[in-house]
Chain A
Amino acid sequence: MTAVPAVAYTPQSYKSEVKPVWCPGCGDYSVLSAVTKALAKLELPPEQVAVVSGIGCSSRIPAYTNCYGFHGVHGRALAAATGLKVARPDLTVIAAGGDGDGYSIGGNHFLHACRRNVDMTYIVMDNRVYGMTKGQPSPTTEPDWDSKLSPHGTGLREFHPLVIALASGANFIARAFAGDPNGCADLIVQAIRTPGFSFVEVLSPCVTFRPEQREWKTMAHPAAVAPTDDPARAARRLMTDDGFNIGILYAGNRAPYRSAQAARVSPAELEKEFAL
């Protein structure tokens, strides 16, 4: 359906004029840049792409693109994206947001989006904190991280999104780092190209509430091994890596969720069932 573009798409083709509200140095700028690079590489017309999010600093991303955007309520990005993609299978659907949005308030949708395997890409900008509400622990925050709301830390074990995604049935699992927008763009390209539910967890520093995350640039490193389609191997890898292993960590080949088929009858035909 998509015609050959008259002018080649550049990352700029996907940027809107809306000025981000993000703090200078926030990792989310690089994720925005990676998304626009990926879309340019895929040569997708902006109007054929929808970016769907919840609430949080990271969830502001749709309006900063030139694509169709949906900035919904906190935690429900995946639900809205699911409805959109199932109803409009012709679109490329990207859901995006933060770790609080996706793993806490939206945690149930995360499990079921992985299971359902609708053909879309989910990008989580994980900064291990609630940025927008000014620095509370999220499910991925270290147990001893001190904050006003949880003095001396939560004492809770971190949520492990990639393992949970694998166990729940996500078809593509990658970890990216915002500090490398080109590498991140490549992973997003692969995620979009892979049919089914693709999950890209991006380590995206919050320089304001987690300034120590600036050090991530010294910690992130490419995954030493090639992607696997064996869930057992992937599980072992994900359970034992250092959390900074960047790359595609699992790529399966489950058939995606089926969308609507063409109409076979007119609505009036349905009445026959009631008629005496």
Chain B
Amino acid sequence: MNTATSNKGDNATSVSLALAGSGGAGVMTAGNMLLEAAALAGYFGLMTRTSGPQIRGGEAAAMLRIATYAVDGPDDRFDALIAVDWLNITRFSAEIPLDADSLLIGDPAQGAAPEALLESGAQSVSVEFKTLAKSIKSGWPNMVALGLLAGFAGLPQDAVEAAIAKSMKKGGDALAASIAAMHLGLSAAQKLPRRMPLAPPQGACSGRWLVTGNQAAGYGAIRGGVRFVAAYPITPATELLEWMAPALTRVGGTLVQAEDELASINMILGASYGGVPSLTATSGPGLSLMIEALGLGVTAEIPLVVVDVMRTGPSTGIATKTEQGDVNIALYGLHGDAPHIVVAPNSIGDCVRATQWAVTLAESLQTPAIVLSDQSFGQARAVIDQPADLAFTSRRKLAEPNAKDYKRYLLTDSGVSPMAVPGMAGIAYTADGLEHNERGTPSSQASDHLAQLDKRRRKLASIDYGDYWADVEGEGELAVITFGSCTGPVREAFARAKDDGLHARLISLRLLSPVQPERLASALAGVRRALIVEQNHSAQFLRYLRAEYDIAAQMTSFHRPGPLPFRPDEIHRRLIDWSRS
């Protein structure tokens, strides 16, 4: 991978920009246009958003990273922050790190920049957005700001115009005014004390996607065969559902807005029992409510998928921010012995494949699967290479109508038993959360309990999960083991550490359950020490590795909670210290 080390002069390879303002200032609109312009010009990029506690109309910031190479996470710092106004902006200072090389651009009409931001050493620059915008009939300051940032990063004017036109489909005077205002921003950028024009893009935009992690997961689900969704809205999973609702209708499926998560999980159990691959999406509080019914899915052997877009917990926590705190509940939250699948995508693009994979695993193994996504994927929008279709094709094994002496929970070698679905004559059965015999008849016999427990565990070990269980990269006696959204920043830290002469292995675990001890052992062969990187307060992933695997390497934990994202430098420094210790 390319790195941002040559980020100087006319050849920046990665530029980070933030655009802040109070509600109604249109910073998100401008941010989205900027990302789209970068995409059309052939760059990669990532946009995340942050806002104050107000439901609507409070201060907000769009945070963008535009680069010549694919980016899976934020950079260490921001090259420029534009504030359309200063309202409560200091609340974002931890999220938008500035330094002496950064520009802090504000409108003098809004007063002086807050001291708390100036302390960073950032160079304060005045641009009269409001006056400039007013010079054009129906011109808006956010469009001036858009032009200013585009000029700062050296984005081509036609790409910015195309991006504006794409989002203002009505065209007309409003479009003309926006473009004119943007042009004023572009020329104002020429007067900035410093600009960071990006190096020419590598490749063109064709074959790339502009997508959020939530959309990617929703699309992966449909590609995996999901045609029924029931769910209750919760940040940061709601957009996944909002994307799926019309998409499902188009492909012949349907989405029911349930009265609560107890209903959503039980609705998808009912639909999947009816033979239709089904999914729900939620976040920690909702997952907590679904746990009892997940046990029913395990016992009655009903396939289903729950996408948990993790947010900062516990309880309501910080609803709009990320954390990897649901490892324990996803793996161990169910009562009894309840083997099930847990998969963690490790990039926005990977949300497509991991979710699709989870659907096919759940279907073919007839058990629930949990997908551990998180807010930093779900609500981030990225320019990515179109994810390869890994063609996960395994499907649910169905019974034959009128099969003789049909037993729903037949003890097969693989543990997977052919499933009858309503409508099939002669083999009707009752799906049951009560322990049962092979026929499905409730049983409290020790022998039936043991046989069914064994069967349900055996089936998870019956298939070859293939190379997709983890991403394993690099060589050496040192390794970093991580998962999910930490993977991007760890990869970037690795690329930087290479320049320091550090060579190590990276293992990003995608299949958390069932555990793959042999695969991990071979991935770790020859490794003496391992650094375990995760984003939560109690090192849940490290504890899981300790409990489930026999790892010879000496393990060190690098963990901290959300809500702030991991930045490459933080991991890079830790990697160097650890490797030398």
Taking Cβ atoms with an 8 Å cutoff, the residues of A that contact B are 18, 45-48, 50, 52, 62-63, 66-73, 75-76, 79-88, 90-91, 108-109, 111-112, 259-267, 269-271, 273-276
A112-B259, A260-B253, A276-B205 known; A83 vs B431 contact (CB < 8 Å): no
Q: List 30 A-B contacts (CB under 8 A).
A: A45-B425, A47-B422, A47-B425, A63-B430, A67-B428, A69-B432, A72-B433, A73-B433, A76-B262, A79-B262, A80-B269, A80-B270, A81-B270, A82-B230, A83-B228, A85-B270, A87-B254, A87-B272, A87-B276, A88-B422, A108-B263, A112-B259, A260-B249, A264-B250, A265-B251, A270-B251, A274-B210, A275-B386, A276-B40, A276-B209
A47-B423, A76-B263, A274-B209 known; A83 vs B256 contact (CB < 8 Å): yes
Measured CB to CB, the nearest residue on chain B to A80 is: B270
Measured CB to CB, the nearest residue on chain B to A275 is: B209
Residues of chain B with a CB closer than 8 A to A112's CB = 258-259, 263
Using a CB-CB cutoff of 8 Å, which residues 253-311 of chain B contact chain A?
253-254, 256, 258-260, 262-276, 278, 292-293, 295-296, 300
A47-B426, A50-B422, A270-B222 known; A63 vs B208 contact (CB < 8 Å): no
Measured CB to CB, the nearest residue on chain B to A60 is: B442
Q: How far is the CA of A127 from the CA of B219 in the complex (A)?
A: 47
A260-B253, A261-B252, A267-B222 known; A274 vs B270 contact (CB < 8 Å): no
Q: How far is the CA of A84 from the CA of B256 in the complex (A)?
A: 12
Taking Cβ atoms with an 8 Å cutoff, the residues of B that contact A are 39-40, 205-206, 208-211, 215, 219, 222-223, 227-228, 230, 247-254, 256, 258-260, 262-276, 278, 292-293, 295-296, 300, 383, 386, 420, 422-434, 440-442
Shortest B565–chain A CB gap in Å is 23
Residues of chain A with a CB closer than 8 A to B272's CB = 83, 87
Main secondary structure of the interface of B (DSSP, over half): mixed
A88-B274, A260-B254 known; A83 vs B227 contact (CB < 8 Å): no
Contact A271 B274 (CB under 8 A): no
Q: How far is the CA of A84 from the CA of B219 in the complex (A)?
A: 23
Shortest A75–chain B CB gap in Å is 8
Contact B227 A87 (CB under 8 A): yes
Residues of chain A with a CB closer than 8 A to B267's CB = 79-80, 82-83, 86
Measured CB to CB, the nearest residue on chain B to A63 is: B430
A47-B423, A79-B267, A83-B230 known; A18 vs B251 contact (CB < 8 Å): no
Contact A259 B250 (CB under 8 A): no
Contact A86 B422 (CB under 8 A): no
Contact B422 A108 (CB under 8 A): no
Residues of chain B with a CB closer than 8 A to A84's CB = 270-271, 273-274, 422
4 A-B pairs besides A75-B262, A85-B270, A86-B271 with CB distance below 8 A are A82-B263, A86-B256, A274-B209, A274-B210
Shortest B294–chain A CB gap in Å is 10
Contact B268 A83 (CB under 8 A): yes
Most buried by A among B258, B260, B274, B300: B274
Contact B433 A79 (CB under 8 A): no
Shortest A44–chain B CB gap in Å is 12
Most buried by B among A63, A91, A261, A265: A63
Which residue of B250, B254, B423 contacts A265 across the interface (Cβ within 8 Å)? B250
Q: How far is the CA of A138 from the CA of B509 in the complex (A)?
A: 48
Contact B223 A267 (CB under 8 A): yes
Contact A48 B422 (CB under 8 A): yes
Residues of chain A with a CB closer than 8 A to B271's CB = 83-84, 86-88
A48-B422, A263-B252 known; A83 vs B278 contact (CB < 8 Å): yes
Q: How far is the CA of A126 from the CA of B264 in the complex (A)?
A: 26
A71-B431, A276-B206 known; A83 vs B269 contact (CB < 8 Å): yes
Contact A91 B423 (CB under 8 A): yes
Contact A70 B252 (CB under 8 A): no
Residues of chain B with a CB closer than 8 A to A88's CB = 271, 274-276, 422-423
Contact B430 A70 (CB under 8 A): yes
Main secondary structure of the interface of A (DSSP, over half): mixed
Measured CB to CB, the nearest residue on chain A to B211 is: A274
Residues of chain B with a CB closer than 8 A to A75's CB = 262
Q: How far is the CA of A259 from the CA of B249 in the complex (A)?
A: 10
Contact A68 B422 (CB under 8 A): yes
Measured CB to CB, the nearest residue on chain A to B224 is: A267
Q: How far is the CA of A269 from the CA of B246 in the complex (A)?
A: 13
Residues of chain B with a CB closer than 8 A to A80's CB = 266-267, 269-270, 273
Measured CB to CB, the nearest residue on chain B to A109 is: B263
Q: How far is the CA of A109 from the CA of B259 in the complex (A)?
A: 7
Measured CB to CB, the nearest residue on chain A to B420 is: A68
Contact A70 B431 (CB under 8 A): yes
Residues of chain B with a CB closer than 8 A to A50's CB = 274, 422
Q: How far is the CA of A48 from the CA of B251 in the complex (A)?
A: 25
Residues of chain A with a CB closer than 8 A to B251's CB = 263-267, 270
Residues of chain A with a CB closer than 8 A to B274's CB = 50, 83-84, 87-88, 91
Residues of chain A with a CB closer than 8 A to B205's CB = 276
Which residue of B230, B248, B273, B432 contacts A63 across the interface (Cβ within 8 Å)? B432
Shortest B211–chain A CB gap in Å is 4
Residues of chain B with a CB closer than 8 A to A87's CB = 227-228, 254, 270-272, 274-276, 278
Contact A108 B252 (CB under 8 A): no
Residues of chain B with a CB closer than 8 A to A260's CB = 227-228, 248-249, 252-254
Measured CB to CB, the nearest residue on chain B to A62 is: B430
Q: How far is the CA of A269 from the CA of B272 in the complex (A)?
A: 24
Contact A71 B206 (CB under 8 A): no
